[in-house]
Amino acid sequence: MGKMTVYHGSSVIVAAPQIIKGKNTKDFGPGFYCTVIREQAQRWARRYEHGVVNIYTVRMNTDLKILEFKEMTEEWLDFIIDCRHGIQHDYDIVIGAMANDQIYNFIADYVDGILTREQFWSMARFKYPTHQINFCTPAALRCLEFISSEEVVKA
């Protein structure tokens, strides 16, 4: 992993990213979430009255503890369920697909025993691709360099 560009959709310019410990537990736990998919960051930003896509260069520090899910796997599902239940992990950076609202509903149905694992996978696999990279620790945040931001017009 060399240099890459990532995007963060927000309501403000975020020149100095911080770890967000939100009220709602996220897929990969507390942190600063970005994506390599510009359109996805634009969708995030459009949720706000004045949306902003923040653009960063990432220089990965290979000394960091990085977990990457190349695709939606059983391990990915279990990791998200743990994080959404508030179970802590010790990774600096976690990368993988995002459980959007619809997939999260499938996860909730799976956890509640409404769906079997097989049913979950048959429904989740057909959703459009998503990507997220969570910078979970101060050391991980130091890999980010703010480049610029752009306003997103609400559709």
Amino acid letter, residue 58: V
Range of the structural domain that residue 32 is part of: 3-152
According to DSSP, the residues that pair with 96 across neighbouring strands are 132
pTM of the model: 0.88
**C-beta of residue 89 within 8 angstroms of C-beta of residue 137:** no
Which pLDDT tens digit goes with each residue over 18-30? Answer: 998 776 668 899 9
What mean pLDDT is predicted for residues 19-46? 88
Per the structure, the count of domains in the chain is 1
Per-residue pLDDT at 1 exceeds 70? no
User: Residue 128: which pLDDT band, with cuts at 50, 70 and 90?
Assistant: low
**C-beta of residue 132 within 8 angstroms of C-beta of residue 95:** yes
Per-residue pLDDT at 88 exceeds 70? yes
**What is the C-alpha to C-alpha distance for residues 132 and 146, in angstroms, rounded to an integer?**
17
**C-beta of residue 34 within 8 angstroms of C-beta of residue 64:** no
Which pLDDT tens digit goes with each residue over 54-87? Answer: 999 999 888 999 999 998 899 999 999 999 888 9
Q: Would you state the structure tokens that stand for residue 112, as one six-digit string?
A: 């509640």
Which pLDDT tens digit goes with each residue over 98-110? Answer: 877 778 888 889 9
In the chain, the N- to C-terminal Cα span, in Å, equals 34
**What is the C-alpha to C-alpha distance for residues 100 and 23, in angstroms, rounded to an integer?**
17
